[in-house]
Structure 1
């Protein structure tokens, strides 16, 4: 079975599209765990309207944030495989079927796929993220190419996975921790997911993410300043290239 972890916080605008993309999967042996992280809008009501028994809704009593919410869901999961989908993103219909078969064929502990980028309204494809066929620990330090919405983990190989509790880039820190144990992530080059991109400018959000990656280097991976500096410029460059290739722009400050 595949357990799908979907955190949700005030997600009424897009959560139905996300859920529908899961229910449309050609692979049907899954459970969808939706974790409501103290929403104040109609998120819970929208989820409760679904009657499919594979959907399990958890209403959290305190705000746990992205990592804490995912960790709670992972602990409730009963499937061998864990997949992640945020409440504003979507999957293509054969995502689970193709990725599960790919993992079994390659005996992969962690896999990911290419993905398309869609406009905020979901009406247009604005970009595409290509991925390599494999990613090592060193590669991921310099290029955070693995999209959380595309990841599938084989817990029979990794054991219980829990994301570190700090703000930003918790997913990348988690993949790094798995790869640091000697696993190599395997990639499906076919785009099987749709990422909903918000503001397309290179704004403070991008610089905030850079600060989060630095935190991953120093706190999660316990790197010295010198070692972190040997990787950080590569991360910045690769991040900029990915941003531009997915429909982003750069605003020059005069």
Structure 2
């Protein structure tokens, strides 16, 4: 996206943007995340680090950055990722609120681009970007999430979640407040993300906003987020993630029963395909094959709409079962070396 650098007003005491950094036992990666955020070319922002009951040295690491007046630290007993984000939103003062998980990175111009986008597109509530994938050591994997950017409807959010990950969006505060609620027993603050979810909390929030408000979701070009992929627990988490996704569907269905009747089978197939790819990445042959088959049984819509990706997933799951993990690793290496 080509845009002029936004200028910061001189008279306002509150920053234009707030960046919420949920932090739980991330002492090893938090410095790189904070350094990337502090290097943003748009400077009228605050960083709210939410120490979510860490038991390592995360809090001490965060305090090492507190000399910068843009950095604020909030500590709480562990409430999970959704709870940490909610606490950050509660303390945020900016008209725009971004999220960056404490193991991810932002490109230097990311905030500036989103601020311009939200300023010039008043109907947009969530501005997001693509993401380049990095490994646990921060090395580029040569892969990227390149989502749909324009004309995003609720069905696109449900099926393919173009926002992609929790470190990709910068959200208008007014859009967040349009979906805020306070559940029974909550005495401290509102909820924006549903804290009863430990997985699928992102898509639950984006889809709830798309279904219940007039705010639009729209992306900006470029892989402006560096999204860290962990190699541990990928396959073990697929069953729990699918259970959380189904619970999200059950929660939101009463809001728009006809919408879910029409789109749930295809969305379920896309979700199962995504989880099959996760299982392939963790080299779990049985799980990958089972998820790929379940995706095809749920709906053939992904095969019609995205034949290349769907067939590649099925073939990779089959190859993993027949040829073993080494063959998949070699094939991935060849793909990454292929010229763009």
Equivalent of residue 76 in structure 1, options 75, 91, 112: 91
Separation in structure 2 between the aligned mates of residue 100 and residue 243 of structure 1, nearest angstrom: 33
Separation in structure 2 between the aligned mates of residue 65 and residue 237 of structure 1, nearest angstrom: 24
Match of 1:153 in 2: 171
Equivalent of residue 200 in structure 2, options 148, 169, 175: 169
Match of 2:214 in 1: 182
Higher relative contact order (CA 8 A, sep 6+): 1
Match of 1:139 in 2: 156
**RMSD of the alignment, in Å?**
2.4
Separation in structure 2 between the aligned mates of residue 154 and residue 242 of structure 1, nearest angstrom: 32
TM-score in terms of structure 1 length: 0.90
Distance 1:242 1:178, change over 3 A: farther
Match of 1:52 in 2: 68
Flag structure 2 segments of 5+ consecutive residues without an equivalent.
Answer: 1-15, 181-191, 287-320, 322-340
Deviation at 1:202, TM superposition (A): 5.5
Flag structure 1 segments of 5+ consecutive residues without an equivalent.
Answer: none
Deviation at 1:184, TM superposition (A): 2.3
In our comparison, the structure showing a higher alpha carbon Rg is 2
Deviation at 1:250, TM superposition (A): 4.9
Contact kept, 8 Å, 1:5 with 1:74, in 2: the verdict is: yes
Q: 1 or 2, which has the higher strand percentage?
A: 1
Q: What pairs with 1:1-254 in structure 2 (closer than 5 Å)?
A: 1-50=16-65, 51-60=67-76, 62-107=77-122, 108-134=124-150, 135-146=152-163, 147-159=165-177, 161=180, 162-166=192-196, 167-180=198-211, 181-199=213-231, 203-222=235-254, 227=261, 229-236=264-271, 239-240=274-275, 248=281, 250-253=283-286
Task: Report how many residues are paired.
Answer: 251
TM-score in terms of structure 2 length: 0.68
Deviation at 1:153, TM superposition (A): 0.9
Q: Indicate the larger mover: 178-187 or 14-23.
A: 178-187
Contact kept, 8 Å, 1:131 with 1:188, in 2: the verdict is: no
Deviation at 1:233, TM superposition (A): 3.1
Q: Indicate the larger mover: 26-35 or 212-221.
A: 212-221
Distance 1:235 1:200, change over 3 A: farther
Distance 1:170 1:64, change over 3 A: same
Separation in structure 1 between the aligned mates of residue 149 and residue 41 of structure 2, nearest angstrom: 24
